[in-house]
Chains A and B, each alone.
Chain A
Amino acid sequence: MSLQMLINAILLGGLYALMGIGFSLQWGISGIINLSYGAMVILGSYISLEFFNLFHLDPFISMIMSGAILFVIGAAIYRTLLQPLIKGGIVFTLILTFALRLVIENIILKVWSADYRTIRVTYAGSNFQFGDAYIPLIKFLAFIVAGILIYLTYLFMMKTKTGKGIQAVALDKEGAQAVGIDVEKMYLINFALGTALAGLTGSLWASIYSFSPHLLGSIVGKVFIIAILGGLGNIWGAAAGGLLLGIAETTGAVFFGSEWQEALGMVIMVSVLVWRPYGLMGKKFFG
């Protein structure tokens, strides 16, 4: 494997890592498999597109807006739709989030059409040399920003009072309730944080690649794989899972041909599920 390939794989994997964390947190801690996650990522891309078209705002700046907007949307969805149904179990939350996906997809199709869109910033073409490999500047920047965001998420979970509350709820719901933690609020914040991360990833994605509603399905497929590789609700696990998926897809495309890329990811996921149901990182995280 050449250096160029490895670098490409890691740069892609960084975005996957950020994308997978939100989904993994929602699934592992709030207990919701969010099938509308892909729609939320793409919605983030379109929010950045709007800010770029209206104010010529760089996606690296407008990502703050898409993160904030998606946080509010996520909180609203959780409070009104998911919270009352969460006791109904997996069938209900799966169907409900799938229905949400249909609604968001329809809105995107109606407002922005099904065409592929791109955001071209002025420095999109520039790259720099590292050894005998070329690194596109924008992908490198996106990778760094993704890394910072992952670290911030980690700090939030470990250092702030709310983050520690979320951790406590994830470990033992009744215990957390007994010491006076508002469990529902923690679930709400955690879910909204997940959708905010989806929006942030969408903006970063939009600065590099073209996007359209057609990507919805494959994004959900990827975040499933990442979350399962890393172990649910585990931030560093999901980050490692994202990098691993990036590497697997890039090398798999070389060895088997790109048409086998998705099958490879699925096979990896099912194998991990069967042999290591708590992810490659090992320990059982939530109840």
Chain B
Amino acid sequence: MFNNKKVNIFLIIVGIIIFIFLPRFVSGYWVRVITTIFMYAVISQGINLMSGYMGYLPFGNAMFFGVGAYITAIGMGKGLSFLAVLPLAALTAILVSILFGLPVLRLRGHYFAIATIGMSGALLSVVQNATEITGGAMGTTLPIIDKSPEVTYNYFYLAMLALMVITTLTIYLIIKSKFGFGIRSIKANEEAANSMGINTTYHKVIAWAISALFTSIAGALYAYWMSFIGPEEVFDVMIAVNTIVIMLIGGAGSILGPIIGAFVISLLSEVVWSTFLEYHLAVLGITIIIIVFFVPKGITGAIADFVKKRELRLRKKVSV
């Protein structure tokens, strides 16, 4: 069932339809939880493109989330509508990614990961200290939608779901394209890719810009949804760490990995929060350790292995 393309597309469409109508059947609390899951899946998808497919770990990707959130907050504070601010937020994030990406994407492995953390930290400080524009460390408020909370939450639920579907579809199409082969060749061997005539710098910068685009839109939606944001919250390195864990658990370099991972990790931490209130950090840490140890390829990787083994067994039976 995992190899038949038509069946897969059918299953995915059924899944999307179920999620569209889900808010009618679950409580408002779960609508919010699932909205967060969609958001994490989007951010994780951005990291998946960079790390899972291209081999560059963007540890500071939360900065695009923060940029998206803050441009939205500032623009809406000036009286613009959300839909007018959204392209601005995305454009700013893309500009930031290109500006930072050109020097920093020359760095490999560890160095790139650390440089992005540094840039994220520096941006956080700028936002904290530019009090006149951003409201400083105290945070800032956004206009509240003039509808009942239930309608508002459903609206953001659907918006986040749409963003997740669009992000996943876009990245899927990119990966299957010629450009995507370039990206994957960078992970396999950057020098070889370069000498084969692939413009690696161009590929890397564009890939990071795409990653920044979707992450910043998630940030913009988040800011409008929460209607209050603080710099520590939206530039938190934990956002990147969480989404890296999500990618690992779902399966790095697999298109559905981030979505599956987001559901598993978020539902798991729901359970952990409610049962081990005082030990939730330790339980979360130990869970991560166990998963990294025993499911290193992630859930999609484990499923693929399982399917492959079963097919091998079947083939043996047939040949006997």
A binding-site residues for B, Cβ under 8 Å = 27, 33, 81, 84-85, 88, 90-92, 94-96, 98-103, 105-107, 109-110, 217, 221, 224-225, 228, 259-260, 262-263, 266-267, 269-270, 273-274, 277
- By the criterion CB–CB under 8 Å, are B119 and A95 in contact? no
Known contacts being A96-B292, A266-B119, is A91 close to B111, with CB within 8 Å?
A: no
How many A-B contacts are there with CB distance less than 8 Å?
113
- By the criterion CB–CB under 8 Å, are A259 and B128 in contact? yes
Query: Which A-chain residue is minimally distant from B131 (CB atoms)?
Result: A259
Q: Could you say which of B5-13, B100-108, B160-168, B188-196 contacts chain A?
A: B100-108
Q: Which residue of the partner chain, among A109, A110, A263, contacts B125 with CB atoms under 8 Å? A: A263
What's the Cα separation between A271 and B214 when bound, in Å? Answer: 27
Q: How would you classify the secondary structure of chain A's contact residues: helix, strand, loop or mixed? A: helix
Query: Which A-chain residue is minimally distant from B280 (CB atoms)?
Result: A106
Is B122 an interface position by the 8 A CB rule?
A: yes
Known contacts being A81-B289, A90-B57, A91-B244, is A102 close to B118, with CB within 8 Å?
A: no
Query: Which B-chain residue is minimally distant from A256 (CB atoms)?
Result: B129
Query: Which A-chain residue is minimally distant from B278 (CB atoms)?
Result: A110
B113, B119, B252, B292 — which one has the most chain A CB atoms within 10 A of its CB?
Answer: B292
What's the Cα separation between A259 and B124 when bound, in Å? Answer: 11
- 14 cross-chain CB contacts under 8 A: A88-B292, A90-B109, A94-B59, A95-B241, A95-B244, A100-B289, A109-B281, A217-B237, A225-B118, A263-B124, A266-B118, A269-B114, A269-B118, A270-B122
Q: Which residue of the partner chain, among A84, A107, A228, contacts B114 with CB atoms under 8 Å? A: A228
Is B21 an interface position by the 8 A CB rule?
A: no
- By the criterion CB–CB under 8 Å, are B241 and A267 in contact? no
Q: Min CB distance, A15 to chain B, in Å?
A: 21
Chain B residues with CB under 8 Å of A94's CB are 57, 59, 113, 244
What's the Cα separation between A217 and B252 when bound, in Å? Answer: 26
Chain A residues with CB under 8 Å of B206's CB are none
Q: How would you classify the secondary structure of chain B's contact residues: helix, strand, loop or mixed? A: helix
What's the Cα separation between A110 and B245 when bound, in Å? Answer: 25
- By the criterion CB–CB under 8 Å, are B281 and A270 in contact? no
Q: Which residue of the partner chain, among B114, B244, B278, B292, contacts A273 with CB atoms under 8 Å? A: B114
What's the Cα separation between A188 and B100 when bound, in Å? Answer: 36
Q: Min CB distance, A87 to chain B, in Å?
A: 10
Is B288 an interface position by the 8 A CB rule?
A: yes
Chain A residues with CB under 8 Å of B278's CB are 110
A266-B119, A273-B118 known; 13 new pairs, CB 8 Å cut-off, are A88-B292, A88-B296, A90-B57, A95-B248, A95-B292, A102-B281, A106-B282, A259-B125, A263-B126, A269-B115, A270-B115, A270-B122, A273-B114
Query: Which A-chain residue is minimally distant from B103 (CB atoms)?
Result: A274
Known contacts being A91-B244, A266-B125, is A99 close to B106, with CB within 8 Å?
A: no
Is B51 an interface position by the 8 A CB rule?
A: yes
What's the Cα separation between A95 and B117 when bound, in Å? Answer: 14
What's the Cα separation between A30 and B288 when bound, in Å? Answer: 22
What's the Cα separation between A284 and B279 when bound, in Å? Answer: 43
What's the Cα separation between A96 and B241 when bound, in Å? Answer: 11
What's the Cα separation between A94 and B237 when bound, in Å? Answer: 13
